[in-house]
Structure formats: C-alpha cells, structure tokens
Structure 1
Amino acid sequence: MSDIKDIFVRHRKYIFYLLSIYVLGYGFTPYQSVFLGLIFGTALSLYNLWVMVRKTERFGQAIAEGRKVMSIGTFSRLASAALAVMISFRFPEYFHSAGVIVGLMTSYIVIMIDIIIQTIRK
C-alpha cells in the first residue's frame, strides 16, 4: 500500500501548488470571491482525497486479513461537498459558488492529469 501513499504525496504537492496560485490570485486580483471559493473548494477536495486514501488503505488491510469492510467513505465525502456548496450559497459575498464547485473537482482533475503524465513517462 505504499504506492498509494506515494501517489497521495505527489497529488498533495500538486494541490498545494494550485492553492498557492489561488492565494496569489486572491491577493492580487479583484476576483476575491472567486479565488476564495476556489481555495475553499480545493481545501475540501484535498480533505476528501485524504479520506479516500485513508479508507482505501484500511480496505486493503481488511481484505488482506480476511475481514469485512463496511464502507470506503463515500457518504462522508459527499456530505463534505454538500456542506461546502451550502456554505457557498449561504455566504455568496465571500464564496463564489462556481469557484467552490470547481475547487471540489480539483483533486479528480489532478488525479487524471497525473495518470496521463505517469503514462507518458513509462
């Protein structure tokens, strides 16, 4: 399962680079609500990615030991995404809803781009 941790470290690094770009955009552009929405959504996307990696590791250990596994955390990831969208609707002056939604998809976009890069390298 160390491969999953290595992949997660690489994805986390990419997401932190994106977050730093978003922070610069928040500080130096007039589109502060858009960038704050991107920051908020991407931070929750990173959290969801961490939960998915942690649950996948536990799933693999349980399968190796012959135990049953209840879930891989889909409900908690969906609940955090729904909470982020509800917060963006509640405070539209701070968080742009489209920015939050795009931010929530960031980890999946990073995963797809990383797969393409790793395929080309091999």
Structure 2
Amino acid sequence: MTDYATMANRQRSWMLYTLAISVAGWGFTDYETVFAGLILGLVIGLFNLFLLQKRVDVIGEKAANNQTAKSFGTLSRFAAAILVVVVIMRFPEHFNLLAGIIGLMTPYFVIMIDFIFHHKETTTTKRGE
C-alpha cells in the first residue's frame, strides 16, 4: 500500500471515529439538535473527504503519466455543503447550524492534524540510518 493510500485510510478512519462519538453523543445526551447537526455535517464532510481523496489519487496517477487532469471537484463539494445548510435551515428544530458547519469543516482539520503528526514522525528519524 502506498503512503498516500495509508494516509487516506487513516484520515477516513479518524472521521469514522469522530462520527461514532457524535452518534453516541446524540443517543446519550440531551443535546440532540447539536449532535444531529454535527452528524449531518460529518456525514457530508466524510463524503467530501472521500471525493477529494479519489480526485487527488486520479490527478496523481495522471501526473505520473504526463497526462492532463481535470479539477479537484470543488463544485460538487460546495454543492454538498450548500445542501447541508439548506437542510439545516429548513429543519432548525432538528439540527443546529453551527454544529453542522463544524461537522463540514472537521475533515479539513483531520487532514491538517494528520499532516502535522505524519510530518513530525518522518522528520524526527534520521535519513539513511
């Protein structure tokens, strides 16, 4: 498995752990609307993360073969984020808007934190030894 595939799997697993904790929070606390908004945002965020990782993989393969590649699929990820906001605004009694936005942004925080830990892990080892 390549380093990129390992990183992508690690990021998806962290997102699934976060989603599982949010589902537990929704089921066992009195903050159902907050956790419902967070769950909705996390599900769409996980979908967006999956789309982004697949597009990066395809673009990387095309770059290795000296072919031109299309965009990263930004429009589809924006459309999914707009869908979350529309659903939350339509049903404010069931979902919290701020929690939904935090859920949408969580994959990008996961990517940054994963990069920091992986970068720290690879730079502390000496090269060639």
Give the alignment's TM-score, normalised by structure 1: 0.92
Contact 1:26 1:36 in 2 (8 A): yes
Matches within 5 A, 1:78-117: 78-117=78-117
How many residues are treated as equivalent by the alignment?
122
In the alignment, structure 1 segments of 5+ residues that lack a partner are: none
Quote the Cα distance in structure 2 between the aligned partners of 1:17 and 1:27: 15
Quote the Cα distance in structure 1 between the aligned partners of 2:70 and 2:112: 27
**Amino acid aligned to 1:118:** H
**Amino acid aligned to 2:77:** R
Query: Following TM superposition, by how much is the alpha carbon of 1:74 offset from its aligned partner in structure 2, in angstroms?
Result: 0.8
SS at match of 2:33: helix
Query: Following TM superposition, by how much is the alpha carbon of 1:116 offset from its aligned partner in structure 2, in angstroms?
Result: 2.0
Query: Following TM superposition, by how much is the alpha carbon of 1:57 offset from its aligned partner in structure 2, in angstroms?
Result: 1.1
Query: How big is the alpha-carbon RMSD for the aligned residues of Structure 1 and Structure 2?
Result: 1.4
Give the alignment's TM-score, normalised by structure 2: 0.88
Quote the Cα distance in structure 1 between the aligned partners of 2:65 and 2:118: 31
Quote the Cα distance in structure 1 between the aligned partners of 2:108 and 2:41: 12
Quote the Cα distance in structure 2 between the aligned partners of 1:59 and 1:86: 31
Larger Rg: 2
